[in-house]
Chain A
């Protein structure tokens, strides 16, 4: 027998190798004879390439080859963009620049050498003759007719899109009041601690290519890279070993992945490229990058009647995999946790001389939540209402679910008020407000911020996704009784090896140590989609769950046959198939001892010892299924099941975050006093992992709210090019989090789970900014743009 696992704080099975330093990330894999690749990257944001002289580099010690754009333009297809939007302009995105460069960090040439030092040395010997061109980095300037970046297009506008339902003009015309605010979402760098990296090995005899890559989407990458370099998809194997964080930045297909594969095929040797942090900030996707106006129409009692967001989206120079789609996700979530009868979003998405933006943790939804929550705070300020009460007034009630929004979504389930109440109770909200009043009287600057967010997870129904929104699982019981799960939801720190084993442990009545979860190898795992959009448990975990049910049906049939009983008399419990009579005896304490699954007999495969038994362990059934001497008629040997789960809808987790800050009048320094988060991510498989996801998400929000921004200067030079300039939060920057949960199961999947990977980055920024703005309310402040730094705060205090 085993304890139940689901819902328990189970320690991760993947941890021992990681905490001993014995795990393998891409750069930890060493193949004999590996050559190393380093890139020549553009130092200009926009320039014509008049020539590239590679002669000195080619003759440098250790250099094996140098490839330029001209060498590969006709050999390797364009870097893919999977987003389809009406009239979308798609630039021809080659793996190496040909006659122009479009952003600082744009790859121009690849140098291949016998070791990484030699490759790096030779990069400096490649002479590029640049002729600089006018640069456009500001998205509004790009929209207004600045220098045109891609010559084959008439302007820099990649697409325009208007979305939403309801009569927005009527809503604004009939409103008692309206508020309007310009809001910036600066570009952010995802900064996975492990930068990207690729190891490619071509086997000329087998004509097979293996790519080890630090990616979130091994299967999608295999398909795309196969098309790019013209190798049959089933001759390309993509392996993701440990992946050191992604946050969306590895939900992509990058030029380097295809190029490394192609180079290995040319040279017949393994080739490796490990991204430096400088390259990572230059040439791995950025997140956010929106400038827009939020307008809210409302009644004098605080009832919302309309919301409009008119935004310029900074796409960068090229489309990466999902670049154009990200702003449209913002549009989907503009109803927030509220009943808003009319919503409109107007997007103008533009090319700029910068790295592409794409999915960074939350991917368009943090922008939406931030806009809506800032809007609600402005409404509260306008009416002199408590921000929590404005929110409460506009929540849909639990009985109104599925709740249709004016952005075209149907929220699955929710109880927003209970989460708000719980957070207020934990925070001692009323008392906090009283303390704040007293503190203000003493001249202290204390602020309280409230965010009641809803997010869209479990991406998603295939209808809404560019390349399938399902997920796959194969579950099999090996002849020795060990359980193997193959999942397409390849993780990068989320802990699916544990959480999926927990699901299997309960459903099959086995110890989780007897379950192995295999992922991230297209040579082993059936096709899958990947881990992003808080989908792994809700979609991938459900696939595991349903595959297990299928498998159990077969196991039950076999057990019934062996026990020579009616199917209705055989029950499954605690990893054991028993005759009902035997079960009754077991209850009386006379059952035979259960053989723990996993203690397989040593030596040759034994004969199933099943004759005359009144019960069978899963291991007995698995062995019988493989030995196949006594199976029911028309039953396939073996014991495995595969399921591709297609969700019918997204899931919509929600919650309330309350931040309390105090500002130092002398320095402008912002200190957290409290941080309370009540999140509802549906049913919880492992509360410890959920807490970890929430903490990590909130701290990325703290980064966005107070520290982080990718800065390009007017010439398009990247000013924040290293971790010395790009400020990622450190341990000393965080509050002592107070977390709690409500649990509203999702009706969309049989596990009732919703997803939690992005909740923190979505729910927290408005609470933090709201708290800082609230602290500065005595100075008449109603809005500040992120990141809010002590200097901004100090200037506000000292300008009064």
Chain B
């Protein structure tokens, strides 16, 4: 039995009928074709599927699409505004915060939320804030530097 949902994704309103068991990440990827959000573990451990749900970073592999009914979702595709990259995106580019890029969208969304909550985090606070996101390529050092870059940049503007 499908259920109707209505939600806003990256500022665009969508109405769809979905199976109650459909995961939010599959709704975003397969129905809305927003494939920037990735699946890396299906146990909520790796964070590749991180999106903003009503301003909270959540792992969309463990949220049902029906749970997002009436909500507002921001994915990696919605982070840049008016063609301008989000400071965290700039930081990742500037500081080589990515290699294969698979964990990157989730990592960037998590980092953006981290900076929303704490505009000037210490190294330790950054590491703690990114504990829910795994990266196998970078060894995290450049990711930490990317977030530091973004914090500095956001502080200047």
A binds B: yes
CB within 8 Å of B: which of A749-791?
Answer: 760
User: Are A731's CB and B127's CB within 8 A?
Assistant: yes
Q: Which residues of B contact A736 (CB under 8 A)?
A: 123, 141
Contact between A737 and B93 (Cβ–Cβ < 8 Å)? Answer: no
A25-B102, A193-B46 given; A689·B36 CB < 8 A:
no
B96 touches A19 (CB 8 A): no
A19 to B90 alpha-carbon distance, docked (Å): 9
Q: Select the stretch in A77-85, A505-513, A608-616, A696-704 that faces chain B.
A: A696-704
A22 and B36 contact, Cβ closer than 8 Å, known pairs A15-B92, A15-B93, A193-B48: yes
Across the interface, which residues of B come within 8 angstroms of A492, CB to CB? 100
How far is B106's CA from A193's CA once the two chains are assembled, in angstroms?
Answer: 12
Question: Measured between alpha carbons, how far is A698 from B136 in the docked complex, in Å?
Answer: 11
A523 at the interface (CB under 8 A from B): no
Q: Are B41 and A277 in contact (CB under 8 A)?
A: yes
B38 and A247 form a contact (CB under 8 A): no
The 8 Å CB contact of A244, one of B19, B101, B123, B133, is: B101
B38 x A277 contact (CB < 8 A): no
Chain A 161-203: CB-based contact to B (< 8 A → 1; otherwise 0): 0000000000000000000000000000001111100000000
**B76, B85, B98 pick with most chain A CB within 10 angstroms:** B98
How large, as a class, is the contact surface on chain B? 35 or more
Mostly, the B contact residues are loop
Which residues on A sit within 8 Å (CB–CB) of B142?
691-692, 695
Count of A interface residues, CB-CB < 8 Å: 59
Mask for B100-125, Cβ within 8 A of A = 1, else 0? 11111100100000000000000110
Q: How far is the CB of B73 from chain A (nearest CB, A)?
A: 13
Query: With A695-B141, A696-B139, A731-B143 given, is the CB distance from A194 to B100 under 8 Å?
Result: yes
A481 CB to closest chain B CB (Å) equals 26
A195 and B40 within 8 A (CB): yes
CB of A243 within 8 A of CB of B139, answer no
Q: Are B98 and A695 in contact, with the CB atoms below 8 A?
A: no
Nearest Cβ in chain A — how far from B149, in angstroms?
12
The answer to the question of A43 belonging to the interface, with a C-beta cut-off of 8 Å to chain B, is: no
Q: Is B35 an interface residue (CB 8 A)?
A: yes
Most buried by B among A193, A694, A698, A722: A193
- Indicate whether A478 reaches chain B with its CB closer than 8 angstroms: no
Cβ of B38: which chain A residues have Cβ within 8 Å of it? 25, 193-194, 244
B60 at the interface (CB under 8 A from A): no
A215 to chain B, nearest CB (A): 13
Task: For the complex, give the distance between the alpha carbons of A15 and B108 in Å.
Answer: 13
CA distance A689 to B139 in the complex (A): 12
Give A25 Cβ to nearest chain B Cβ, in Å: 7
Q: With a CB–CB cut-off of 8 A, which chain A residues contact B101?
A: 14-15, 18-19, 23, 242, 244, 493
Report B-chain residues with C-beta under 8 Å of the C-beta of A22: 36, 77
A244, B100: Cβ atoms under 8 Å? yes
Assess whether B136 is in contact with A728, with CB atoms less than 8 Å apart: yes
Task: Collect the chain A residues with CB atoms within 8 Å of residue B36's CB.
Answer: 20-23
**A495 to B142, alpha carbons, bound, how many Å?**
15
Query: Within 8 Å of chain A (Cβ to Cβ): is B54?
Result: no
- A117 an interface residue at 8 Å Cβ cutoff? yes
Closest 8 A/B residue pairs (Cβ):
A21-B36, A244-B102, A493-B100, A695-B139, A21-B76, A18-B101, A699-B139, A493-B99
Q: List 11 A-B contacts (CB under 8 A).
A: A18-B104, A19-B85, A20-B36, A24-B35, A25-B35, A25-B102, A117-B22, A493-B100, A692-B138, A695-B141, A736-B123
